[in-house]
Structure 1
């Protein structure tokens, strides 16, 4: 019998576009994520008299977003590598440079889903007895691809 998978088992990484070796940086300290496969979807109404009063449509554009959130994290003054890349590099890119790659998978999966995406930084906040929040939203650009999980030798 199939069993539900844990939400905490999802891994999200961003490609370090400044590294010629296409290094992937994990985004750590997350406590929430949401993927919306119908974001930015566009449809065309194809209802005609022949539809006998029932609505019809065709999907003309597919879109998707992933929103991740968690806690701003640093150890010995060094920020989490994925958070640092998002905050200090990707956030300031504009135009064609605003696109980068991100990928995600569940720990039980043997392949990554890879997106070329734009990124919108999330709010950072906190009250007196809180930890500082951190987040980002990735908007897919184009069709997703896949890549095998490669383990280090």
Structure 2
């Protein structure tokens, strides 16, 4: 089977409207999914477990970290990055938005309600300015058919 290029994944964030415009998250150079983020387990062991560990998953989660280069034109940040940075300043339900991602060959989006944490940003004398954000899924993942 062919390998899957990391650069062939597509990441989009909602503009927050009831009929959303999907904004591409620009300037990405790396991404990483952590499907164990937010998991919680409970100890299910008792005296009959005979000293053997027993546990059950009580909660599932996932997080996606996007890393890249900050993009700006005429002093304005690229729309997808700008939306992410604006969301990272909000709290509670105002901080939650729709986010979707898929590989370029897939026919369905993975659709999340998610909230954002910004990562570090900066650079040195001969570097481009960095961009990093982590999106944490809240609630169950949905799917949505790709439409042309």
Normalising TM by the smaller chain, what interval? Answer: over 0.9
Which residue matches 1:91? 88
Match of residue 126, structure 1, among 123, 138, 141? 123
- Who is 2:15 aligned against? 16
Select the residue among 24, 27, 41 that pairs with 1:26: 24
- Report deviation, 1:78: 4.1
- Contact kept? 2:11, 2:101, Cα under 8 Å: yes
CA RMSD of aligned residues (A): 1.4
- The 4+ residue runs of structure 1 with deviation greater than 3 A are 75-78
**2:53 aligned partner:** 55
Name the CA distance, whole Å, in 2 between partners of 1:63 and 1:20: 25
Q: Which moved more, 1:50-59 or 1:111-120?
A: 50-59
Q: Of residues 108, 119, 126 in structure 2, which corresponds to 1:111?
A: 108
SS at match of 2:3: coil
> Cα offset for 1:76?
4.5
Query: Is the CA contact (8 Å cut-off) linking 2:99 and 2:113 kept in structure 1?
Result: yes
Q: CA deviation at 1:48?
A: 2.4
Give the number of aligned pairs: 148
3-state DSSP class of the match of 1:60? Answer: strand
The two structures have a TM-score, normalised by structure 1, of 0.90
- Aligned counterparts of 1:150 and 1:78: Cα–Cα separation in 2: 29
Aligned-pair distance for 1:3? 2.0
Alignment of 1:133-152 (within 5 A): 133-151=130-148
* Long gaps (5+) in structure 2: none
Which of 48, 69, 73 is the matching residue for 1:71?
Answer: 69
TM normalised by structure 2 equals 0.93
